[in-house]
Amino acid sequence: MAKPGRLGVGIIGAGKVGAVLGAALRAAEHAVVGVSAVSDASRERAETLLPGVPILEVQDIVERAELVLLAVPDDALGPLVEGLAKLGAWQPGQLVAHTSGRFGVGILSPVRAAGAIPLALHPAMTFTGMSLDLTRLLDCSFGVTADPAMLPIAQALVVEMGAEPVAIAEADRTVYHAALAHGSNHLVTLVAQASELLREVGVDAPERMLGPLLRASLENALASGEAALTGPVARGDVGTVAAHSAALRELDGGSGGDILEAYLAMARATARRAGSRGLLKPEQIDGIRQALDNPDADGPIPEEGP
C-alpha cells in the first residue's frame, strides 16, 4: 500500500540531475510514472537509475503526473514551459518544479496561469549521473523558491530526497547561482591549471601533490573563512608575487594565457580582501599590485609554505 501523500512523478529530462532526483523521489516511495530521454546516454541513464519506468513523450508525462520535474538546461526551460502551456498541457493543482539554479518561479508563470503550482528546487551539488549521487544528496542543500503558501511543499520534497532545503528569494536566484558556479566550476578550472603547471615541471601525478593541500585549504576555508588565508599575497611578499608573475608570463610566451590571466585576477582579489581584513597595509597592497603589473619588481622570498 502506498504511503499517504505519495505522488505520481514525471521526469522531463533524463540528464545527470533529472535521473538522480527521480531515483531519490522513487526511494521516498513516490511513483515515477514516466521519463523523457532522447539521447542514447540519457536512455541508458534512465534504464540504470529508473528501471522499469517507461520512456514517454513530454506531453504524455505531463498528462500522467501529479508532480512534473523539469530537469532541462536553463535556456530550454522557458520555451518548454511556454510550449506546453500553448498545448494546454498544464493541469490545475499539478505541482511543477524545475531544477535550474538561475531561475525562481517567475519563469513558470504559464504554469501558474493554468492553475498549477510552480516550485524551484535546485540542488547545490555537482552530479555524475550515477548511483553514487544518491549518497551525495544526503550531504547536500537545495536552493528552494516558491510562493509563501507553497514553500512547505518545496521544502518537504527536498527533505524526502534526503537533502536540506534553503529558501532563496526570487530576486536573489541569479546571485545565488553565480555564487555556486563561481565556487564549484571555477574550482575545477583552478585545479586543472595548477595540475598543468606541475606537469610542465615534470610532476607525473599532480593530483597526488595537490590533493592533500587543496583538501586542507578547502576545509580550513569552510571552517574559518578568510582567517584561513595564507600564502605570499596575504603575507605581502612582493618578491615572490613578482617572481610568480614573471614565470607565468614566460611560460605563456608573453601571450597572456588563461593561467596567467587567472593568477593575476585572483592575486589582485586576494590582495583586496586581505587588505579589507587588515592583513595587509596599504603600501603592501600597492606593492603587490605593482608586482602583478610589473614582474621586474624584486623583494624577499618567503621561507614558509604555500
pLDDT of residue 277: 87
**Rounded CA gap, 286 and 281, in Å?**
9
Domain match, 227 and 247 both: yes
pLDDT of residue 4: 55
**The CATH number of the domain where 153 resides is what?**
3.40.50.720
Domain match, 248 and 228 both: yes
Residue 231 one-letter amino acid: G
Domain end (from 109, 136, 168): 168
Residue 306's pLDDT band (cuts 50, 70, 90): low
Q: How much of the chain, in percent, has pLDDT values that exceed 70?
A: 93
Domain match, 51 and 138 both: yes
Domain match, 137 and 237 both: no
Domain match, 30 and 148 both: yes
pLDDT of residue 270: 95
Burial class (CB in 10 A: 0-12, 13-18, 19+), 143: buried
**Residue range 244-250: average pLDDT?**
91
Q: Which ranges in the chain belong to alpha helices (H)?
A: 16-27, 40-49, 58-64, 74-86, 109-113, 132-136, 151-160, 173-200, 206-224, 232-235, 238-251, 258-276, 282-293
- As beta bridge partners, residue 32 has 9
Q: What is the pLDDT of residues 16-64, one digit of tens each?
A: 999 999 999 999 999 999 999 989 999 999 999 999 999 999 999 999 9
Q: How far is CA 224 from the centre of its chain?
A: 22
pLDDT of residue 208: 97
Average pLDDT value for the chain: 92
**Residue range 165-179: average pLDDT?**
98
Residue 190 lies in a domain: yes
Residue 296's pLDDT band (cuts 50, 70, 90): low
Question: What's the total number of domains in the chain?
Answer: 2
Per-residue pLDDT at 304 exceeds 90 = no
Q: What is the pLDDT of residues 180-230, one digit of tens each?
A: 999 999 999 999 999 999 999 999 999 999 999 999 999 999 999 999 999
Domain end (from 134, 168, 202): 168
**Rounded CA gap, 125 and 104, in Å?**
17
Per-residue pLDDT at 299 exceeds 50 = no
Per-residue pLDDT at 134 exceeds 50 = yes
Domain, as residue range, for 183: 176-293
pLDDT of residue 257: 81
Per-residue pLDDT at 302 exceeds 50 = no
Domain match, 12 and 156 both: yes
**Residue range 260-285: average pLDDT?**
93
pLDDT of residue 279: 87
227 or 294, higher pLDDT: 227
Domain match, 162 and 274 both: no
Q: What is the pLDDT of residues 65-93, one digit of tens each?
A: 999 999 999 999 999 999 999 999 999 99
Residue 303's pLDDT band (cuts 50, 70, 90): very low
- As beta bridge partners, residue 143 has 122, 166
Burial class (CB in 10 A: 0-12, 13-18, 19+), 276: exposed
pTM of the model: 0.87
DSSP, residue by residue, 224-266: HGGGG--SHHHHT-HHHHHHHHHHHHHHTTTS--HHHHHHHHH
| 63 within 8 A of 86, measured Cβ to Cβ | no
| 30 within 8 A of 9, measured Cβ to Cβ | yes
Residue 1 lies in a domain: no
- In the three-class reduction of DSSP (H, G, I as helix; E, B as strand; rest coil), residue 16 is classed as helix
